[in-house]
Homo-oligomer: A and B are copies of this chain.
Amino acid sequence: MNLSEVSAPVAGTTVGEELHELVADLYPICTSITGDGLREMLRRIGTHVPLQVHEIPSGTQVFDWTIPREWNIRDAYVKDGLGNRVIDFGASNLHVVGYSTPIKTRMPLAELKEHLATIPEHPDWIPYRTSYYREAWGFCLSHDSLLGLEDGEYEVCIDTTLEDGHLSYGEYFLPGERDDEVLISTHVCHPSLANDNLSGVAVATLLARTLAEQPRRLSYRFLFLPGTIGSIAWLSQNQAGVSRIKHGLVLTCVGDSGNPTYKRSRRGNAEIDRAVEHVLAHSGGDYEVIDFSPYGYDERQYCSPGFDLPVGCFMRTPWGRYPEYHTSGDDLDFVRPEALADSLEKVLAALSVVKNDATYVNLNPYCEPQLGRRGLYRSTGGRKDESERELALLWVLNLSDSKHSLLDIAERSDLEFDVVRAAADTLLDHDLLEEVAG
């Protein structure tokens, strides 16, 4: 599968441009792990795919965690003695520490500074900070701005509410011929950070729309969740059904200009791990594959030992490895249409491998069948050239002993999966193979 199969974008734009426009559309929303910003985020995604939005009440126990109170923000600022807003939430969502408690008071600069975060190494970037599970308030600003603050009294206002409400998340289920599910999970809780993770949201959205328009052998489940608490909540409320998840990917940081990076599932050799690696290895470009570690995004929860689901993480430059990470530097210029499109294409290709893999038994296992008689083989012997197609036929025949899947064969033969799959289809057409019930 490739981009030509992606759900057709609006006339005159490329897939990459459409993805970037979606990122740009979501960029202004002040989303968080709960609240109306998050609801707005899900509503806009819902204009592209028919998302089902779930609401879980504050206080609900989800495994070891509790759904927190809902956070909403109307305004926030710091005013100097002249009444000028020296820090203004209206200018950037990142200026307020996420989940800041409400405050309205006056204080001298020295006291205020204890609540200010900057990045001295990148003095013009605003950092992104949250304090979900410890009550606190704070502002983030550029280091340059901090240096410009003069001694004196400041008026501090954070007009937020932190009250019982709900945690919201979006779910989109695409049934297929089989109950076996592919899980695609992406976090939607970061405001105004383009790569982390509006890029993941955009790619997941177009992926969902594309798969919705195709016949489906497998079922697909898309989760647009607040990070950590969202996946914990979903797993807690859907524990009985997780055994249907046969393959999964967390999508995050998929729009920067770095090479693709794949982080394996905890199992390390799950079919999704092998499929993504196969696609990357045959892509012709540089890439990196890294082992699972229990640090990162929601794969931490899917790969916790009680679940140990075959869920890997597809990224470009991994979180924390680029300086713009969790700063205002992660803006709309930082994500690139061609990188977004490439991520979507590679994820589609990996899901195509997973979908089309199967195991067969050669019905003519004693010596090779006479392919030439069936028009499947060149008729003139003695020539040096051999086509990849013929080689794939021979590999599939040789290894189809009910112990090797097509992906196994592709790996051992170093042929592309699609070539191996096509060879199997040809042999099936000639009654030379039979699928092994898996």
Which residues of A pack against B, CB within 8 Å?
62-65, 97-98, 127-134, 136, 228, 231-232, 235-236, 239, 266, 291, 293-295, 300-301, 303-308, 320, 325-326, 362, 364-370, 372-373, 379-384, 386, 391, 394-395, 397-401, 412-413
Contact = CB atoms under 8 A, between A and B. Distances in A.
Contact of A293 (B236, B266, B395): B395
Contacts of A399: 294, 305
A279 to B, nearest CB: 23
A372 to B, nearest CB: 5
A200 to B, nearest CB: 17
Nearest to A298: B367
B134 A372 contact: yes
Given A326-B384, A384-B325, A394-B294, A304 B368 contact: yes
A369 B133 CA distance: 13
A162 to B, nearest CB: 15
Contacts of A400: 305
A297 B397 CA distance: 16
Given A305-B399, A325-B384, A293 B413 contact: yes
A64 B368 CA distance: 8
A128 B381 CA distance: 9
Contact of A391 (B65, B228, B295, B381): B295
* Chain A, interface SS category: loop
Contacts of A372: 133-134
Contacts of A291: 412
A395 B63 contact: no
A196 B303 CA distance: 51
A381 B413 contact: no
Given A63-B367, A64-B370, A382 B128 contact: yes
Contact of A301 (B231, B367, B381, B383): B367
B295 A367 contact: no
A232 B367 contact: yes
Contact of A381 (B129, B294, B373, B379): B129
Given A293-B413, A300-B394, A395-B293, A64 B369 contact: yes
Most buried by B among A98, A134, A294: A294
Those 9 A-B pairs whose CB atoms lie nearest each other, nearest first: A306-B365, A134-B379, A294-B398, A306-B366, A130-B381, A294-B394, A305-B401, A64-B369, A232-B367
A55 to B, nearest CB: 20
17 contacts: A64-B368, A65-B370, A130-B380, A131-B379, A136-B380, A235-B367, A291-B412, A294-B395, A294-B398, A295-B391, A300-B368, A301-B367, A301-B368, A306-B366, A307-B366, A307-B367, A320-B384
Given A129-B382, A232-B368, A304-B368, 5 more contacts: A63-B366, A133-B370, A294-B368, A295-B391, A320-B384
Nearest to A402: B305
A364 B301 CA distance: 12
Contacts of A398: 266, 294, 300, 303-305
